[in-house]
Amino acid sequence: MAALTRIAERLLARPLLLAPAIGALAALGFEPLHLWPLTLLGIAWLTVAMATAASRKRAFLTGWLWALGHFCTGNFWIATSFTYQAEMPAWLGFVGVFFVSVYIAVYPALATLAAWHVRRRPLALVLAFAGAWIVTEWLRSWVFTGFAWNPLGAALLGPFDGQGLAPLTRGIGTYGLSGVLVLIAGLLLAIGRGRRGMFAALVLVAVLVPMGLTGLIPAPQGKVAYTLVQPNIAQQDIDNPATYEDQFQRLARNTLPRTRGEQRLVLWPESGLPDYLREGYPRYYYEDTTYAADPVLARRRIGAVIGPGALLLTGAVDLEMQGDDVLGARNTVTALGPDGALRGSYAKAHLVPYGEYLPMRRLLQPLGLSRLVAGSLDFLPGPGPRSLDFGPYGKAGFQICYEIVFSGQVVDRANRPDYIFNPSNDGWFGAWGPPQHLAQARLRAIEEGLPVLRSTTSGISAVIDADGIVRAQIPRFVSARLDGRIPPAHAPTLFARFGNMLPLGLATILLGLSLLVLRRARR
């Protein structure tokens, strides 16, 4: 213990130089490495480094540099997206990762700045840091449209067949779970400090034991049959007209019914279907699709593939028209019956900047910046979460791709669904992005008490039950299907009822306790 203390003292002698490296190591607690002890140690180091900072400016800078290394590492997959477009050089992806991280690193830095003011009392410091982290992580999820990827609490999510400490999110949400991680890191600091260290060690062991528990919850049995398809379409082929027919055939081969007339829900991914499904667009928008200028015929062919008794939910693109002018596009989930009739749709509300639209287009386009996906049309946002009742196929909620990462923003609380369908195209997310995306979908399942079904173009596709356990999955770069019954929903959780009021309430309690500890210490 003494040797570890001496090493820590030497490292703390130059915290600003070490902060980015420690933050980077802390990011290895996320998928796919899931080295969660490094996240705990990284936050513990940041707590001490912030507490020993000589000024407000130095405390803020320590937190900002730590977070810069943390986000550059955890979000490095963003650079991969630049390799799938020709409008901008691929090396610009590394610049993009850096500048995104420069901005979002401000939020952890604000948390360190807030906690620094109560640094003289260790307990007050840890409580304030946990409360401030919750608030700033919540702010990161919505300010300037938000970038909520990899909340700190995701490191406490267990393996696919377990839950870790994530069940806490039913009562405190994901941002509250992040605050719990900061509190656990505070316990780490208490270990070895006199007689209280033994008690802190026992508490820490009791808290962390669930991280290793797997497979303890039996698989629930649902009623609605599903076929979930992953066609394995290469990212570079998605917008290539020469591969459109092959894309459709991959979907079809993995969809054909195994029993005639079987009543089932068929799930296809985002970006997997090349056809426009609605009529009334200018002819040139249909020319590169499977059936030139004939969306009715395209829908009938799809209906023949899914077979009688089936309902298809598929990613699609709709155009927004004003007379003969196309104003923009909408990224949708479209429901089709076996007769090819449209049965309803949902339009994505939380769009990806630079992926689905170019912010400040008039300013940035002349500078050579563009979207990272094909097409010149900007996507338009939908109205937000909604549920559609498909009768025997259940009441479906929808979150397309990136939308699923926003805690508290994924369900229509006035019309609670039976399950969430999360079609996605993760092919441009690199190697780390897809497992991180899946982890965040699992957190939404636990928070809301709802199963989540993910159909992706090239993986990872999965069926997640209402406990956040992955009951079936298709790994990356495999063309396959999953068949089964949708796991049942739980009764609405506390988080499902009150949303992010709960983690913000927890943050208020922690900050209040911090001030109380500080006040008692002054007596």
pLDDT band at 6 (very low <50, low <70, confident <90, very high): low
Average pLDDT over residues 249-272: 92
Average pLDDT, the chain: 87
CA distance 508 to 132: 9
Q: Is residue 95 part of a domain?
A: yes
Same structural domain, 181 and 254:
no
Same domain for 178 and 111, yes or no, is yes
Q: Is the pLDDT of residue 396 over 70?
A: yes
Instruction: Check whether residue 234 and residue 359 sit in a common domain.
Output: yes
Q: Are residues 174 and 90 in the same domain?
A: yes
What is the per-residue pLDDT for 85? Answer: 61
pLDDT in tens, 211-247: 655 556 777 889 999 999 999 998 888 888 888 889 9
Pair 249, 193 in one domain:
no
463-505 per-position pLDDT tens digit = 999 999 999 999 999 999 999 999 999 999 999 999 999 999 9
Q: What pLDDT is recorded for position 1? A: 44
* Tens-place pLDDT, residues 69-94: 999 999 998 888 777 665 666 677 78
Query: Among the listed ranges 96-110, 256-270, 358-372, 484-498, which one has the minimum average pLDDT value?
Result: 358-372
Q: Give the sheet arrangement for strand 480-485, strand by strand.
A: 342-347, 325-336, 310-322, 264-267, 225-230, 480-485
Give the pLDDT mean for 130-152: 95
> Maximum distance among all alpha carbons in the chain?
81
31-35, 259-263, 267-271, 453-457: least confidently modelled range: 259-263
User: What would the mean pLDDT of 392-412 be, rounded to a whole number?
Assistant: 95
For 444, the 3-state DSSP assignment is helix
Number of domains in the chain: 2
**Element (DSSP H or E) covering residue 311:** strand 310-322
- pLDDT tier, 364 (very low <50, low <70, confident <90, very high otherwise): very low
So what's the pLDDT on residue 292? 63
Shared-domain flag, residues 202 and 231: no
| Model confidence at 147: pLDDT above 70 | yes
Mean pLDDT across the stretch 504-508? 96
* In 321-385, alpha helices (H): 361-364
Where does the pLDDT of residue 282 fall: very low under 50, low under 70, confident under 90, or very high at 90 and above?
Answer: confident
Instruction: Output the 3-class SS for 452-473.
Output: EEECECCCCEEEECCCCCEEEE
Confidence of residue 395 (pLDDT cuts 50, 70, 90): very high
| pLDDT tens string 16-55 | 889 999 999 999 999 999 999 899 999 999 999 999 999 9
In a domain, 193, yes or no: yes
Element (H, E) at 329: strand 325-336
Give a yes or no: residue 343 inside a domain.
yes
pTM: 0.90
The enclosing domain of 456 has a CATH number of 3.60.110.10
Quote the domain boundaries for residue 36. 2-216+500-521
Q: What is the DSSP letter of 13?
A: T
Query: Is the pLDDT score of 138 beyond 90?
Result: yes
Residue 254 lies in a domain: yes
Q: Are residues 317 and 391 in the same domain?
A: yes
Q: Kindly state whether residues 231 and 209 are assigned to the same domain.
A: no
Read off the pLDDT of each residue in 96-113 and give the average, rounded to a whole number.
93
User: Is 468:443 a contact under the CB 8 Å cutoff?
Assistant: yes
The confidence score (pLDDT) of residue 229 equals 97
Q: Do 459 and 349 sit in the same domain of this protein?
A: yes
Same-domain status, 374 and 287: yes
| Percent of the residues in the chain that have a pLDDT greater than 70, as a whole number | 84
Same domain, 341 and 461: yes
Please give the pLDDT value at position 137.
97
Establish if 169 belongs to a structural domain: yes
Are 242 and 180 in the same domain?
no
Torsion of Cα atoms, 415 then 495 then 432 then 23, to 10°: 150
- The pLDDT of residue 357 is 57
